[in-house]
Amino acid sequence: MPLQVAVGYSSLTGPRERNEDYCGVATPEGAELDNKGIIAAVADGIGGHKGGREAAEYTVRGLLSDYFATPDTWGVPRAIETVTTALNRWVIAEGSRNAELSGMATTLSVLVLRGRRFHAAHIGDSRIYRLSEGRLQQLTVDHIWEHPELNNVLSRAIGLDPRVLMDFFDGELALDDRFLLVSDGVWGVLPDALITQVLLDHPEPQAAAAALASLALAHGGHDNATAVIVDVLELPPAGLRDSLESAASLPLPHRLKAGHEIDGLIVEEVLHDSRETLLYRVRNPRNDQQLVLKTLQPGMAGDQDACAALLMEEWRAKRVVSPNFPQIVPAEHRSCLYYLMTWHAGATLQARLDADQHFPVGEVVRLGCALLKAVGALHRLDIVHRDIKTDNIHLGQDGVLRVLDLGVAVSLAERKPGDPIGQAGTPSYMAPELFDDPVPLPGHDLYAAGVALYHLLTRKYPYGEIEPFQTPKFGEAVRPTRWRPEIPGWLENILLKAVAREAKDRFETAEEFLLALERGATRPIAAPARQPLAQRNPLQMWKIVAAASIALNFVLLLVLLR
């Protein structure tokens, strides 16, 4: 059952000649409803002669269209903040270009219902209320100056400042929740008790919205009166994974061999056979296209978590449209639980190392640039890979580097607050802080990328190989020139910065790391400062102090015996 709502709205001009309020609601269906949700917004324009109306209308229209153009993997706050930042720049620019619109600005209150949660964003003095179990709660805080001579003067609004500072908050939805978005032409006239009574007396949202707007004007309101009401009628399953339940109920295919057929696809080869997953190279006889089919081991049948995780991996991979990743191929009328992706001839970097392939410095730099472009593409989608390593980096016969396996990746859109996150990744590629706190961050992928490039050059790891379940101690990273003296100093500095023990000493973004590689020797980065021996190797330092102390005491003893 998808999320279902009922909506009502009303916007009255009142004594004013022009209505400078604007409201809108978007109620998508299908996958867009699951991924983006329902969005409602109210804006109250302020400023010049007619600039307030233009600012309010453009902001709401732009938000309701551009919000759905943001990546599905983005969290709601990031999507709204990105869109409103661009809208804010337009409002400021338009006001500066056109004297008639000078000073144009608008408040903005936004409500998004997605899954079983609501998300809200707010700037200015329009408001969002929630009526739950007969109790009215104001969710927003008015952004006005608290000064006797500055009554009802906005301290924040779209168009007032180059930097948009919105309030964000969220919470769990409940059946029969009623949300109210209003301009100050309503709440500034009607007390909360009267608003509550109107909402309780009018079960239909359209009637309730119309009653609030007209009642505000009847009580002497001199401003535009706008009200939007959204009632929650049905709630979807508990999360994005649960919304895929129908697909997860498909049976797992039996173990396949070369020559077997599944849904019209011919199996040609088993590519990978692990404890939980199976990968086959298959061929579509209709167009002779070779594909990769990924599924679970037959023994995983009945494991709902594993089935949902496989479908989430497909959901995630569909949204990564980049030449540096295998692309998802639609599987029509599948009878079993699996997904398809493009197949590319070649081998992983680790397979090439195992085959004794040597990688020159220039080739490693080229591959590093491609790897960081791929990682950057993931991070712009708010996806953290969590298992970057040479085993998951594929170099095709076409010369294109592709990052594999999004099985343990996470994105903000699929996570709920408080969701447990287990350890993921390969120990030798894991940043030191991950051994204490497994919460994934984009910087952890950059650390792993640095280790991958280090390993590609030296076949070693900067802090030595770390075994599973080992509790490692991180001292000073071994300089790669110890293993390959011909590595240039500028590249060594980049690698040591990428794998620095402290997160604050590493690259902050994939773009920064990529720029350092592209500039190379023309603009080398500084060599990382070596840690004092007391921090790098406390035991060794105390051994030296003890030896020095013994030597000094021996000398003093000789002096005293003379």
pTM above 0.75, yes or no: yes
Strand 108-114 relative to strand 289-296, pairing: unpaired
> Residue 204: what residue type?
E
- CATH architecture entry for 346-531: Orthogonal Bundle (1.10)
Q: Cβ(36)–Cβ(28) under 8 Å? A: yes
CA distance 482 to 160: 57
Q: Cβ(275)–Cβ(305) under 8 Å? A: no
Q: Token match 């709920």: residue?
A: 416
Q: Cβ(426)–Cβ(394) under 8 Å? A: no
Q: Cβ(327)–Cβ(341) under 8 Å? A: yes
Contacts 24+ apart (CB under 8 A), 460-463: 461/428, 462/495, 462/496, 462/499, 463/428, 463/499
CA distance 14 to 50: 16
**Measured on CA atoms in the order 64, 239, 319, 170, is the torsion positive or negative?**
positive
**E-state strands within 322-460:** 328-329, 339-342, 346-348, 383-384, 393-396, 401-403, 410-411
| Predicted confidence pLDDT, tens digits, the chain (562 residues) | 789 999 999 999 988 888 999 999 999 998 899 889 999 999 999 865 578 999 999 999 999 999 999 999 898 999 999 999 999 999 999 888 887 788 899 999 999 999 889 999 999 999 999 999 999 999 999 998 876 555 568 889 999 999 999 999 999 999 999 999 999 999 999 999 999 999 999 999 999 999 999 999 999 988 999 999 999 999 987 766 555 655 667 899 999 999 999 999 999 999 999 999 999 999 999 999 999 999 999 999 888 888 988 998 999 999 999 999 999 999 878 899 999 999 999 999 999 999 999 999 999 999 999 999 999 999 999 999 999 999 999 999 999 999 999 989 998 666 666 666 766 889 999 999 998 888 889 999 999 999 999 999 999 999 999 988 777 888 889 999 999 999 999 999 999 999 999 999 999 999 999 999 999 989 988 887 665 545 555 666 677 777 888 888 878 877 877 6
CA distance 433 to 7: 47
Quick one: how many helices (H) and strands (E) in the chain?
Answer: 16, 22
Residues 6+ apart with CB under 8 A from 232: 3, 4, 5, 113, 173, 174, 175, 176, 177, 178, 179
Strand 225-234 relative to strand 135-138, pairing: unpaired
DSSP 8-state class, residue 235: -
- Laid out side by side, the sheet with 4-12 consists of 4-12, 225-234, 178-182, 127-132, 135-138
Distance of CA 94 to the CA centre of its chain: 31
Collapse the DSSP code of 262 into the 3-class scheme (helix H, G, I; strand E, B; otherwise coil) and give the result.
strand
Residues 6+ apart with CB under 8 A from 385: 375, 378, 392, 403, 406, 408, 409, 445, 448
Contacts 24+ apart (CB under 8 A), 139-148: 139/169, 140/109, 140/167, 141/167
Domain boundaries along the sequence of the chain: 4-236, 244-342, 346-531
CA distance 78 to 461: 36
Q: Cβ(406)–Cβ(388) under 8 Å? A: no
CA distance 463 to 481: 14
CA distance 188 to 184: 5
Q: How far apart are the first and last CA of the chain?
A: 97
Instruction: Please count the CA atoms within 13 angstroms of the CA of 403 that sit on its side-chain side.
Output: 30
- CATH architecture entry for 4-236: 4-Layer Sandwich (3.60)
**E-state strands within 124-258:** 127-132, 135-138, 167-172, 178-182, 225-234
DSSP 8-state class, residue 100: G
Fold exhibited by the domain 244-342: Phosphorylase Kinase; domain 1 (3.30.200)
- The Cβ of residue 120 has, within 10 Å, a number of other Cβ atoms equal to 25
Convert 414-432 to b/e letters by CB count within 10 Å (16 or more is b): beeeeeeeeebbbbbbbbb
Collapse the DSSP code of 375 into the 3-class scheme (helix H, G, I; strand E, B; otherwise coil) and give the result.
helix
Q: What is the pLDDT of residue 554?
A: 78
CA distance 303 to 321: 30
